[in-house]
């Protein structure tokens, strides 16, 4: 569903002449002219070179290394303007505007031989009046965008006399990847220069649509105009931006919304017009609610096409008029179409106006708060809250548990991102029980929809529709950032444009200033002789400068300085806490990364915090994803040179290739598998490689599920933990990463694990080996009390049930219910059984929202590497519509897993519950039936042979 479309009040549209620059014939050449190939728009140099056969697919094999020469060159896109000038009608009173929705990144723009602009910010929309160049052409009739290598530009900037030095000893002030020391100086996707989960292609190009818009004082009526395309125009007006902000009367970032107050609908236009209008009006209506405003007066529109003029109006509607928007797990993500009509000259001529512009914007009504003030003494006493500050969100006045993951860019090359691939990722998040996604501050500002600002695909509008909350961030990540004027003057419009664009989306919950920067500034302050200087710069940029810009553009969402933060001393004025606090108190939020696999399930190493916004462990992609990029049989091995070259953790920190630090990341995964599972090794080398890949995914899932259960448990304890966001949801290529979903859209084990542990009601064991204590809790994230029954059953590995108990429970709001508590392994185990021979199945059944919900988890007293597993002898019977019935004819199939074949994209669900189902303990006599649900739009194989579906379990780590 698109969030906005435009219509104009005429049978034939009174619009400006809009020319899509993708209709021109483009060429791409390198600096010395030795390469000249057809270009396209929107595109990037790598993609056009690939299309022309100059390079191979950048994601194939080791092409990230062999194609580095593309990054080092300067690339120029040129197009003959004749197709435009042939349709252009010269008009002395008219104006022609050149609009770029996204240039990546450093470029000189020349129009018909005239220099237009030099640009240096990937995240901005650029609009230029080029009218004079049309009437005074020096003979050249080309549009040229000459792109400079962002890598070399960054190096050059660091050599400026006013370029600050950021040291990396004794503390790191910047995380460096393949292309070091430059990304803080270039307003570009940070991970384009490399990250520990992705490649470093440093692309360049015109990566979003671009247009020529001719405004005229006469009414140009174009019956062929596309009413859903951007830009939005009438014949004499360009609406460069439309911002819609919905909030409660009196609400702002430091004033909590009065839930009974009227809604304020604020509409702000950025207008360029070649005609002046003295008394324009704006009329707002919500047809579904039968509400229409009176004509509202925004003030006069001056004749000015050179820069944007901002006009705004407010409309108040009663609190109870609209139904509120909620995330999908807490209610209905109700959306309304808001009709916005700008009437420049009402009451003149035969029509209500000579050229009104009507937009229909899809939006919703909700309040969102980020609570950061101290807990009251009453809450500390009555609820047992650990003293300190709150740090959680509230939707429509009610605190809730944030369950989700982190989003990274969907592809190294934005211009080729498939809308259907993004929809699949977001729908997969919903299917796994998530209600929040964090848009990581090292990537890109995600688009609203395909049309708005040339987005190419829908993100925020899809989240609005699907009921997913979005934690948004400004693009600053893992580095201290300079505050030179030449950067700030580019950053301010970047931030304003993106905040205004995102305002309309009820899914947005906040703007964070960046990712993981506060901790870097605090470390610099504590460790460097001039550390106060760096902390002061951080305060200027992230406490003051960005804070003030963001909150001047929105009243509906809060601002925080950083993704991971110690919180605030004050909201008004906005003052960060940093190290100011009392011992034993809890402030801000936290994260966890621990690559010592021996501590993966040591609960004493897990943080006790209010909200955990990042935690993760890396894994391999599946064997099937490796088949997409590996070119030789010898590459199919866990530590082959090509596989290791695609492990960027820890990063090289420079251009060394293959990554000299990859053995560390490989060892971390290897150690995890060897510690917790039978070590993969069979007579079939491909099976062994496949089992290694799958085992790293299984460990990742088990680790993350254990952490999420711990954090959700904290909702009912002193920390009052109300959020856990796993790093990360999606992948940017086929390589080692922290993702739950692979680049193709294939679900990893973790994605199914999330579907289990993000269920509304869960049951989980909490084992402390130090004192041999086991606690089993049922946990609920519901606002209402949940009643149900927990079943605990001990089995041996042959599948014999040893003992079983049923326990009724009642779980209060956002809390736990104790199911079992025991101390001493001998007392916990079934009498007379060895820990290696048994395991515990935990089931929970409850009624939530008048629906029966179930969940299960498993407890093994010792590592599965030492458990006495029995051959499960799994059989699979294929039925109609890709249903499969799995049976264990021998022992228990520990972590039974069904793989769909190469070229297919989809997931397995339990037809009885309708929930995702894969990766479970298959017990003899208790068959599992699952159905494969295919993504027709993404799959390259539409009708796979059921015989090509592969079943595996831990038994297959060591047996064919």
Q: Which residues are catalytic?
A: 516
Q: What is the largest CA-CA distance in the chain?
A: 97
Q: How many CA atoms lie within 13 A of 127 on its CB side?
A: 21
Q: Encoding tokens for residue 926?
A: 């208790």
Angle at which helices 749-757 and 685-713 cross, to 10°? 20
Q: How many CA atoms lie within 13 A of 370 on its CB side?
A: 29
Q: Which of 683, 143, 203, 591 is nearest to 417 (CA)?
A: 203
Q: How far is CA 313 from CA 269, 285, 340, 453, in A?
A: 9, 13, 11, 22
Using DSSP bridges, classify how beta strands 291-292 and 281-286 pair: parallel, antiparallel or unpaired.
Answer: antiparallel
SS3 874: strand
Q: Helix (H) and strand (E) counts for the chain?
A: 19, 49
Q: Which of 751, 309, 370, 398 is nearest to 561 (CA)?
A: 370
Query: How far apart, in whole angstroms, are the C-alpha atoms of residue 563 and residue 723?
Result: 13
**What element of type H or E holds 469?**
strand 469-473
Q: Encoding tokens for residue 189?
A: 């996707």
Query: How far apart, in whole angstroms, are the C-alpha atoms of residue 49 and residue 39?
Result: 8
Q: How far is CA 33 from CA 4, 26, 76, 346, 750, in A?
A: 42, 15, 10, 55, 48
User: Which DSSP string corresponds to 634-672?
Assistant: GG-STT-HHHHHT--SS--SSS-SS-TTHHHHHHHHHHH
Report the first-to-last Cα separation within the chain, whole angstroms: 47
Query: How far apart, in whole angstroms, are the C-alpha atoms of residue 646 and residue 643?
Result: 5
Q: Are 180 and 654 in contact (CB under 8 A)?
A: yes
Q: What is the 3-state secondary structure (H, E, C) of 83-151?
A: HHHCCCCCCCCCEEEEEECCCECEEEEEECCEEEEEECECCCCEEEECHHHHHCCCCCCEEEEEEECHH
Q: Encoding tokens for residue 540?
A: 């200027």
Q: Encoding tokens for residue 119?
A: 């640009």
């Amino acid at each position: 569903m698109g969030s906005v479309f435009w219509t104009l009040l005429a049978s034939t549209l009174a619009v400006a002449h809009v020319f899509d620059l993708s209709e021109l014939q483009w060429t791409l050449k390198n600096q010395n002219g030795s390469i000249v190939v057809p270009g396209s728009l929107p595109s990037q140099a790598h993609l056009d070179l690939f299309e022309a056969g100059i390079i191979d697919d950048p994601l194939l094999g080791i092409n990230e290394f062999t194609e580095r020469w593309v990054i080092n060159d300067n690339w120029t896109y040129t197009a003959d303007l004749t197709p435009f000038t042939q349709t252009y009608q010269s008009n002395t009173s008219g104006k022609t505007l050149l609009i770029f929705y996204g240039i990546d990144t450093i470029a000189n723009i020349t129009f018909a031989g005239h220099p237009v602009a030099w640009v240096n910010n990937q995240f901005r929309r650029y609009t230029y009046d080029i009218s004079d160049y049309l009437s005074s052409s020096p003979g050249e009739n080309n549009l040229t965008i000459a792109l400079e290598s962002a890598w070399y530009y960054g190096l050059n900037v660091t050599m400026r006399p006013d370029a600050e030095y950021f040291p990396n000893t004794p503390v790191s002030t910047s995380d460096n990847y393949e292309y070091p020391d430059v990304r803080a100086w270039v307003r570009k996707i940070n991970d384009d220069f490399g990250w520990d989960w992705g490649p470093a292609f440093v692309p360049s190009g015109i990566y979003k649509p671009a247009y020529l818009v001719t405004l005229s004082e006469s009414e140009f009526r174009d019956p062929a105009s596309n009413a859903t395309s951007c830009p939005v125009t009438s014949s004499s007006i360009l609406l460069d931006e439309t911002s819609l902000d919905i909030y409660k009367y009196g609400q702002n970032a430091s004033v909590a919304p009065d839930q009974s107050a009227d809604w304020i609908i604020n509409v702000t236009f950025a207008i360029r017009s070649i005609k002046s209008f003295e008394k324009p009006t704006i009329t707002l209506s919500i047809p579904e609610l039968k509400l229409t405003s009176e004509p509202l007066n925004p003030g006069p529109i001056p004749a000015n096409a050179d820069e944007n003029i901002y006009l705004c109006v407010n409309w108040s509607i009663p609190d109870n008029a609209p139904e509120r928007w909620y995330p999908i797990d807490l209610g209905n993500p109700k959306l309304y179409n808001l009709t916005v009509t700008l009437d420049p000259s009402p009451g003149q001529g035969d029509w209500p106006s000579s050229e009104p512009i009507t937009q229909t914007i899809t939006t919703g009504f909700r309040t969102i708060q980020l609570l950061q003030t101290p807990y009251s003494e009453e809450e500390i006493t009555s609820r047992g809250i650990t003293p300190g500050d709150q740090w959680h969100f509230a939707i429509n006045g009610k605190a809730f548990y944030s369950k989700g993951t982190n989003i990274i860019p969907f592809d190294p090359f934005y211009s080729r991102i498939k809308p259907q691939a993004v929809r699949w990722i977001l729908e997969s998040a919903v299917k796994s029980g998530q209600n929040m996604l964090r848009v990581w501050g090292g990537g890109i500002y995600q688009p609203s929809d395909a049309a708005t600002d040339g987005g190419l695909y829908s993100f925020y509008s899809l989240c609005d529709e699907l009921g997913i909350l979005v934690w948004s961030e400004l693009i600053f990540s893992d580095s201290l950032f300079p505050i030179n004027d030449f950067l700030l003057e580019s950053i301010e419009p970047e931030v304003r444009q993106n905040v205004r664009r995102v305002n309309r989306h009820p899914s947005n919950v906040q703007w964070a200033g960046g990712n993981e920067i506060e901790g870097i500034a605090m470390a610099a302050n504590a460790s460097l002789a001039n550390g106060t200087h760096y902390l002061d710069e951080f305060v200027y940029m992230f406490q003051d400068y960005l804070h003030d810009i963001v909150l001047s553009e929105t009243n509906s969402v809060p601002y925080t300085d950083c993704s991971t933060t110690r919180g605030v001393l004050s909201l008004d004025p906005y003052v960060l806490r940093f190290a100011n606090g009392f011992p034993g108190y809890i402030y801000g939020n936290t994260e966890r990364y621990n690559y010592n696999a021996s501590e993966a399930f040591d609960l004493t190493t897990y943080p006790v915090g209010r909200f955990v916004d990042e935690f993760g462990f890396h894994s391999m992609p599946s064997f099937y994803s490796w088949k997409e990029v590996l070119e030789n049989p010898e590459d199919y091995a866990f530590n082959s040179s090509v596989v290791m070259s695609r492990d960027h953790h820890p990063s090289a920190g420079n251009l060394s290739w293959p990554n000299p630090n990859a053995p560390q990341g490989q060892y971390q995964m290897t150690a995890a598998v060897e510690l917790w599972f039978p070590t993969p090794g069979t007579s079939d080398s491909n099976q062994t490689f496949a089992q290694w890949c799958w085992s790293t995914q299984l460990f990742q899932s088990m680790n993350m599920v254990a952490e999420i259960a711990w954090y959700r448990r904290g909702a009912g304890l002193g920390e009052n933990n109300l959020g856990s966001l796993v790093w990360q949801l999606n992948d940017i290529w086929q390589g080692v990463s922290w993702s739950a979903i692979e680049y193709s859209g294939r679900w990893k084990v973790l994605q199914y694990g999330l579907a289990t542990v993000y269920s509304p009601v869960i049951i989980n064991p909490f084992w402390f080996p130090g004192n041999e204590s086991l606690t089993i809790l049922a946990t609920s994230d519901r606002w209402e009390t949940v009643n149900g029954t927990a079943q605990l059953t001990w089995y041996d590995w042959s599948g014999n049930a040893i003992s079983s108990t049923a326990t009724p429970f009642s779980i209060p709001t956002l809390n736990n219910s104790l199911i079992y508590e025991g101390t001493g392994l001998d007392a916990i185990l079934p009498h007379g059984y060895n820990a290696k021979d048994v395991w515990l199945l935990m089931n929970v059944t409850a009624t939530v929202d008048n629906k029966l919900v179930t969940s299960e988890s498993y407890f093994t007293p010792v590592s599965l590497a030492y458990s006495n597993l029995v051959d499960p002898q799994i059989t699979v019977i294929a039925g109609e519509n890709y249903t499969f019935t799995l049976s264990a004819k021998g022992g228990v199939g520990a972590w039974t897993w069904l793989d769909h074949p190469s070229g297919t994209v989809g997931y397995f669900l339990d037809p009885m519950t309708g929930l995702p189902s894969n990766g479970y303990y298959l017990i003899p006599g208790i068959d599992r039936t699952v159905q494969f649900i295919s993504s027709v739009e993404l799959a390259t194989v539409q009708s796979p042979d059921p015989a090509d579906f592969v079943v595996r379990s831990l038994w297959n780590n060591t047996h064919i």
